[in-house]
Amino acid sequence: MELTIRGLSKTYAGGRKALDAVTLTIPAGVYGLLGPNGAGKSTLMRILATLLEADEGEAWLGGIDMLRRKHEVRQVLGYLPQDFGAYPRVSVEAMLDHLAALKGIARRGERKDLVEALLRRANLWEVRRKALAALSGGTRRRFGIAQALIGKPQLIIVDEPTAGLDPGERNRFYNLLAETGEDVVVILSTHIVDDVKGLCAHMALLDRGRVLYEGSPEAAVAGLRGAVWQKTAAKGEVAGYAQRYKLISAKLSGGRPLLRIHQPQPPGDGFAPAEPDLEDVFFTRVRGLA
């Protein structure tokens, strides 16, 4: 199974171009869609989830024309938006049963077996009788991915799935998503670099509706090797260095800014070579430093 997107564009009222001829090839497995807020990620996800019309372009999931055969797409789609509604007083188990019925699983016994399997797979068995409103943020996310798995989907879309989760819940979510993505296309849309670094063999970086990079995270990082330098500076010196160099980031380390710059040749000035990472790729591409 493969998802192919060609020349997808979307312009909102007022002339804001959310997607500008986006072309991507997304294989089976967990695929990272990385970009800052406002990059066009959610617009792309909503188009693929059949919730929004594209202005131009095409998208194919295997042999399914996703823009024209939306009913077929919905039969094989699992979707976890950033914010999803549910009946707050209904239990986890009852809600999954209800959603399974809506997905066309009519036989009560079949639904019972499916719901039990999903509860155990998403580590929800102990909270199955709790109301949705009583769940923690991380547990609600696990419920979200459980409902997205109903009906053996071939495409799963998750939008900003780990926002607000503590490190333990984030790791549990990573593991569940990695297991899920072995046989289907899973698109992970996020602005959190660690989400992509930890889960995805393939990724794309979007900004202002355009694809800035498509490939593996490792190849993206390798492209910066030998061109990233760092030094610690005083807080009052950051602005001056930003004027003289292509400043990637200035994060506090031990209470002082740790400057990372992009430059193909040794800059001197006390800078030492640094091993690049995916965060360097993100800022370098988005800020047009490379």
> In Å, how far from its chain's centre is CA 217?
13
What pLDDT is stored for residue 156 in this prediction?
93
69 with 9, same domain?
A: yes
162 with 267, same domain?
A: no
Amino acid code (one letter) for 249: S
For residue 85, tell me if it sits in a domain.
no
What pLDDT is stored for residue 251 in this prediction?
92
Averaged pLDDT, 79-97: 83
Helix (H, G, I), strand (E, B) or coil at 271: coil
What pLDDT is stored for residue 85 in this prediction?
65
70 with 160, same domain?
A: yes
Helix (H, G, I), strand (E, B) or coil at 12: coil
212 with 239, same domain?
A: no
Query: Residue 75 corresponds to which tokens in the numbers above?
Result: 């039969």
What tens digit of pLDDT does each residue of 36-51 get? Answer: 988 999 999 999 999 9
69 secondary structure, DSSP code: -
199 with 232, same domain?
A: no
Which residues does residue 80 pair with via DSSP β-bridges, in sequence order? 158
65 with 15, same domain?
A: yes
What tens digit of pLDDT does each residue of 187-246 get? Answer: 999 888 888 887 899 999 999 999 999 999 999 999 999 999 999 999 999 999 999 999
Give the number of domains in the chain.
Answer: 2
For residue 115, tell me if it sits in a domain.
no
Which residues does residue 9 pair with via DSSP β-bridges, in sequence order? 56
Tokens 């059949």 -> residue: 50
For residue 175, tell me if it sits in a domain.
yes
Q: Contact at 8 Å (CB) between 35 and 28?
A: no
72 with 8, same domain?
A: yes
For residue 172, tell me if it sits in a domain.
yes
What tens digit of pLDDT does each residue of 135-183 get? Answer: 887 788 888 888 888 988 999 999 887 766 778 877 877 887 788 767 7
Give the closest residue to 31 by CA, choosing from 61, 55, 56.
61
What tens digit of pLDDT does each residue of 232-281 get? Answer: 999 999 999 999 999 999 999 888 999 999 999 999 999 999 999 999 99
For residue 26, tell me if it sits in a domain.
yes
What pLDDT is stored for residue 181 in this prediction?
67
* Residue 111 backbone phi and psi in degrees, to 5: -65, -40
What pLDDT is stored for residue 84 in this prediction?
66
Q: Which of 83-87, 121-125, 167-171, 208-212 has the lowest average pLDDT?
A: 83-87
For residue 19, tell me if it sits in a domain.
yes
Question: Which residues make Cβ contacts (< 8 Å) with residue 171, sequence separation at least 6?
Answer: none
What pLDDT is stored for residue 82 in this prediction?
73
What pLDDT is stored for residue 172 in this prediction?
78
19 with 46, same domain?
A: yes
What pLDDT is stored for residue 160 in this prediction?
80
Averaged pLDDT, 105-122: 91
What tens digit of pLDDT does each residue of 22-32 get? Answer: 999 999 999 99
Reply yes or no on whether the pLDDT at 33 is more than 90.
Answer: yes
157 with 62, same domain?
A: yes
53 with 160, same domain?
A: yes
Reply yes or no on whether the pLDDT at 102 is more than 80.
Answer: yes
For residue 92, tell me if it sits in a domain.
no
**Domain with 234 in it:** 226-274
For residue 286, tell me if it sits in a domain.
no
210 with 239, same domain?
A: no
Query: Residue 268 corresponds to which tokens in the numbers above?
Result: 């001197």
209 with 236, same domain?
A: no
CATH number at residue 69: 3.40.50.300
Give the closest residue to 1 by CA, choosing from 183, 156, 153, 149.
183
